[in-house]
Amino acid sequence: MTKHEDLLHMLLNAEGRFVSGEEISRNLSISRTAVWKHVNKLRDMGYEFEAVSRKGYRLVTKPDSIDATGLQLALDTTVFGRKAVFLASTLSTQGDVLKLAEQGQAEGAVVIAEEQTGGRGRFGRQWFSPPGKGIWMSVLLRPDLPLQHTPQLTLLTGVAVCRAVRACSGADAGIKWPNDVLIDGRKVCGILLESTVEDHEVRYCIAGIGVDVNFDPEDYPEDLTTIATSLKMETGQSVDRTKLTAAILTELEQLYFLYQKEGFGVISALWEALSVSMNREITVTNPHGVIEGKAIGLDPSGALVVEKRDGEHTLIISGEISW
Ligand code: BTN
């Protein structure tokens, strides 16, 4: 960690109480003048401090944007998010991570944008990504996986995001197959997993995650008002986007490492426990047509098992469901 990150760490740990210049200077082994310089560096990054002679410094507010230092401090990972690129505005973070992947960047690298001007959703749809209110992030994965197992990663990402959302906001979030995160029937998060393949083996995957965090109702265009929602709208409270980003990456790394060690079984069980699609009469729409039946679980490959009215079981690997 750099000195200003160490300083921020101390002030964050003090939870709004004063920390004396002497204590900072002793702990970080720097002069009092250097303390003042690092405080000013943090001020330039959007942190606000109260400085009182003989009392020291007290953190008053954190920047509203998702900030690099705060993310590093909040992460509980070894790899995921340790290489992070922050952009004020971009077309789509998916394209940015694609470039990193082609340059040979290691697994776990992320691109996070305050705004996307061409955010992409599943099935070629647009993804509404206005500035300052959401998490628009793509993560590079380099799994050792045959192509047919990539749906497992889609489901794993949904579990990670759902767990992080529940932990950070307290909202009763659930997963709609395959990996939309819903609260009270409305979508709060979408995930787009894109894979680049060579000889039936995955070269890399890009997990794109979009979370509507602090949207107010008037932020939504009309076509989204009935189907989308935000964590703020559901819980009545703003959620710290930096902490939620760190929580998502931490959950993702833990589940991804677990998956590599133990296989899909444990992820599948977690997914089923969080899913709001299980044991429901659903309609599946995909390029092969429309299937109706009851969602009864995941099979070992990650496909959704649907029991049709005639009792026959059918496996769904792509498409959209409704009920
Ligand atoms: C969906 O249709 O539900 C998937 C939406 C995925 C949106 C995220 S936001 C970050 C990343 N960049 C994109 O352009 N899309 C994904």
3-state secondary structure of 225: coil
**Pick from 3-7, 104-108, 160-164: least confident:** 3-7
Residues flagged as binding site = 116, 120-122, 187
DSSP state of 78: S
CA 140/CA 267 separation, integer angstroms: 19
Residues flagged as binding site for biotin = 116, 120-122, 187
CA 190/CA 229 separation, integer angstroms: 12
Which of these, 300, 283, 256, lies nearest to 177 by C-alpha position?
283
Task: Indicate the CATH number for domain 68-274.
Answer: 3.30.930.10
Distance 177 CA to ligand 1 centre (A): 16
**Residue with the nearest Cα to atom 3 of ligand 1?**
190
The token duo for 167 is 């932990």
Q: What's residue 274's pLDDT?
A: 98
**Residue with the nearest Cα to atom 9 of ligand 1?**
210
Sign of the Cα torsion 18, 24, 25, 27 reads positive
pLDDT at 20 exceeding the cut of 80: yes
pLDDT at 63 exceeding the cut of 80: no
Report whether 150 contacts 198 (CB < 8 A): no
Instruction: Please give the number of the atom of ligand 1 that sits closest to the Cα of 123.
Output: 2
Probe residue for ligand 1, chosen from 85, 96, 136 as the CB with the greatest number of ligand atoms within 8 Å: 136
Fold of 3-61: Arc Repressor Mutant, subunit A (1.10.10)
Query: Is 0.95 exceeded by the ipTM?
Result: yes
pLDDT band at residue 26 using 50, 70 and 90 as cut-offs: very high
CA 153/CA 143 separation, integer angstroms: 9
**Pick from 37-41, 75-79, 140-144: least confident:** 37-41
Residues with CB under 6 A from ligand 1: 92-94, 116, 119-122, 125, 127, 129, 136-138, 180, 190-192, 208-210
Higher pLDDT, 136 or 15: 136
> What does the pLDDT average to over 240-259?
97
pLDDT band at residue 27 using 50, 70 and 90 as cut-offs: very high
Exposed e or buried b per residue across 18-56, where buried means at least 16 C-beta atoms within 10 angstroms of its C-beta: bbebeebbeebebeeebbeebbebbeebebebeeeeeeb
CA 300 to chain centre: 25
The pLDDT tens digits of the residues spanning 281-292 come to 999 998 889 999
The average confidence (pLDDT) of the chain is 95
**Residue with the nearest Cα to atom 11 of ligand 1?**
208
The residues near 149 (Cβ < 8 Å, ≥ 6 apart) are: 264, 301, 302
> What does the pLDDT average to over 247-273?
98
What residues pair up with 31 in beta bridges, in sequence order? none
**Domain layout of the chain by residue ranges:** 3-61, 68-274, 281-322
CATH 3.90.1150.10 fits 281-322, yes or no: no
pTM for this entry: 0.89
